Amino acid sequence: GKEDKLGWRLRYNMEHRGDVYATHGLGPVAQALDIHRGDRMTTLVAMDTKSVHGKERVEMATGKPCDDFKNGDHTTTLIRTEQGKVIEIQHNVMNPQPYNRLYQLTGTKGFANKYPVEGYALDQKQLSASGVQPKVDNLSSHGFLPKAEMQALVAKYQHPILKKYGEMAQEVGGHGGMDFIMDARLVYCLQNGLPLDMDVYDLAEWCCLAELGALSMDNGCAPVAFPDFTRGHWNDIKGFKHAFASPEEEAATEAAAKKFTEELKAGAEKAWKKYDKQKAKKNKSK
């Protein structure tokens, strides 16, 4: 309301503790680690700093002392999965720091880092096994791949979704094209009657970090168990995969969508002509 000097986001951080916006960072990692497709999160431990900037922002907005700001400036959550993987996720919207998504995967045979520093680390044997022949000798997994090898690797394994929408996404924009790709992917699945890339079980697991993290921190950073939202079905599907229609099904769906869009445009054009005609008559009668 007009009298709310804090706004919903600052107020929520003041009243709640934990990683209150985990989905942005956790979602892609959960998919990469096959969560609910052969693995699940079992335990978390959370820890936060004291609130400094949060309190200051409330005091600046209200002009009154703030003695109780629940969320720390920086929250770190460690998660262990059923299959022995570990996820680290950080939440900090208070302190000065360069924008960083912290997307990083460390595997048994390779390493990948995304934004803001994009790089991959593989040794000579693993790179050759991936189908890319190294152009340098003594390639080590303790340093980033040279540019030529990295570009060859990315080109070889470019995702079908990026192949389909990447160029158009750059033109349309929206968070660098991300918004367009996510929207286009959702529409594609719905149009073709395919399973969505995320379901309600994913939603529940990704969002419960705030509440479970608060429980952990309120009890001396104790381990807290995740509920099994799937009720035992987290291992039914083996490995995360994006669903795709056949080329023939895609063509039929796109043709139907194009036909519907043209009909919609034609209908709108007729409606606007009627509107303009009535408006012109009204202006003449004045």
The domain in which residue 278 lies consists of 252-286
Same domain, yes or no: 267 and 215: no
Distance in Å from the first CA to the final CA of the chain: 42
Residue 2 covered by a domain: no
Model confidence band, residue 137 (pLDDT cutoffs 50, 70, 90): confident
Length of the chain: 286
Residue 1 covered by a domain: no
Q: How far apart are CA 197 and CA 66, in angstroms?
A: 42
Same domain, yes or no: 59 and 138: yes
How do residues 142-168 score in pLDDT, each as one tens digit? Answer: 889 999 999 999 999 999 999 999 888
Domains held by the chain: number: 2
Same domain, yes or no: 138 and 216: yes
Is it the case that residue 43 has pLDDT exceeding 90? yes
3-state SS track over 166-209: HHHHHHHCCHHHHHHHHHHHHHHHHHCCCCCCCCHHHHHHHHCH
Same domain, yes or no: 201 and 272: no
> 152 Cβ partners below 8 Å, 6+ apart?
132
Residue 92 covered by a domain: yes
Model confidence band, residue 214 (pLDDT cutoffs 50, 70, 90): very high
Using the Cα atoms of residue 51, residue 55, residue 56 and residue 57 in order, give the sign of their dihedral. Answer: positive
Same domain, yes or no: 56 and 96: yes
User: What pTM was computed for the model?
Assistant: 0.86
Q: How many CA atoms lie within 13 A of 207 on its CB side?
A: 8
Partners of 48 in beta bridges: 75
Same domain, yes or no: 175 and 202: yes
282, two tokens? 């009204």
Same domain, yes or no: 149 and 270: no
Is it the case that residue 286 has pLDDT exceeding 70? no
Same domain, yes or no: 215 and 276: no
Same domain, yes or no: 161 and 280: no
Same domain, yes or no: 240 and 259: no
How do residues 82-95 score in pLDDT, each as one tens digit? Answer: 999 999 999 999 99
Same domain, yes or no: 237 and 182: yes
170, two tokens? 């750059």
* Strand order from edge to edge, sheet including 111-113: 104-106, 111-113, 119-121
CATH code for the domain in which residue 192 is found? 3.30.360.10
